[in-house]
Amino acid sequence: MKVGIVGAGMVGSAAGYALALLGTAAEIVFVDARPDLAVAQAEDIAHAVPFVGATRVSAGDYGALAGCGVVILAAGVPQKPGETRLSLLSRNADVFADVIARVLAAAPDALLVVASNPVDVMTGIARKASGLASGRVIGSGTVLDTARFRTLLASHLGIAPQSVHAAVLGEHGDSEVLAWSTAQVGGEPLLSAAAKLGVGLDESVRAAIDDGVRRAAYRIIAGKGATWYGIGAGLARIVEAIRDDQRAVLTVSVLTPVVAGIADVTLSLPRVIGAAGVMATLLPDLTDDETAALRQSAELLKSVAGDLW
């Protein structure tokens, strides 16, 4: 599969690097408002390819996106220390309409994968600007938050993250919802598995894990200015599910007809992803408190999006 990446900054380049190292894409093309940056990132990643595979990596203008099966949208300005993702909105929304028109002129059949923050709102903007079906415009959403949740749970339990099945729902941001009630370990409910492993999971532990997930981006941004490795790998995972028509279940953000009583809102839920994009949604059976929190998250995003159209 040929994959385009619009935005050759840290997130876009990390996605390209992950795609190349994993061999997920046969060809990667970078496009950026700074052509010299796109060329530099492509050349640097191309020099890593001989160690792992044969992915072709190049840079070009929007016309070079012709033939792409997926285009990752990573254009925009970065989040500043202490700045919420939603406060990025006014600075990033202006970038998208022109970018999407150019992408679709070159690659009208491509699926769009949105990484720019605030990703839920930007995914909604991308869907509206593109006119594509909602399942063909996929925000990275909480795929990274879910990975953080699984990693911290696994560390506490002393097991591999791949053996933990837990999801973060709603906004990729401060109102996100950690779905504790549906978390499982090897098919076993979380609390039962923790007891069998002899590991406590009281409220203080939950609070620490919640903070570790919810505040991760702020800590990373404070330390090095931005996050890019985790989301780069998450974007590569989404592309892999599309390329191989895996029907994998990932927590990504798309326009949702109704969730927790809120209509037409773009947020993350577990979605089945294949070659056609998002094919189905698997809303977990949540507790009343989790459902209320998800409704709050949906209301927040709906309110912000309502200011745009």
The alpha carbon dihedral of 180, 182, 184, 188 has a sign of positive
Written as one string, the DSSP assignment of 164-232 is: EE--EEB-SSTT-EE-GGG-EETTEEHHHHHHHTT----HHHHHHHHHHHHTHHHHHHHHHS---HHHH
Tokens of 159: 């097991």
ω into 78 cis (within 30 of 0): no
Helix (H, G, I), strand (E, B) or coil at 10: helix
Give the DSSP H or E segment for 73.
strand 70-73
Task: Report residue 287 as tokens.
Answer: 């507790």
Burial of 204 (0-12, 13-18, 19+ CB in 10 A): exposed
Alpha helix segments (H runs only) across the chain: 10-22, 35-46, 89-106, 119-130, 143-157, 190-196, 203-214, 216-224, 229-243, 288-306
| Residues 6 or more apart in contact with residue 162 via CB below 8 angstroms | none
Q: Quick check: 22 and 82 in contact, CB under 8 A? A: no
How far is it, in rounded angstroms, from Cα 178 to Cα 176? Answer: 7
State yes or no: is 47 an active-site residue: no
Q: 235 to each of 114, 197, 211, how far by Cα in Å?
A: 9, 33, 24
CA distances in angstroms from 76 to 36, 223, 245, listed in the order given: 17, 21, 29
Among the listed residues 47, 156, 165, 172, the single catalytic one is 172
Active-site residue set = 172
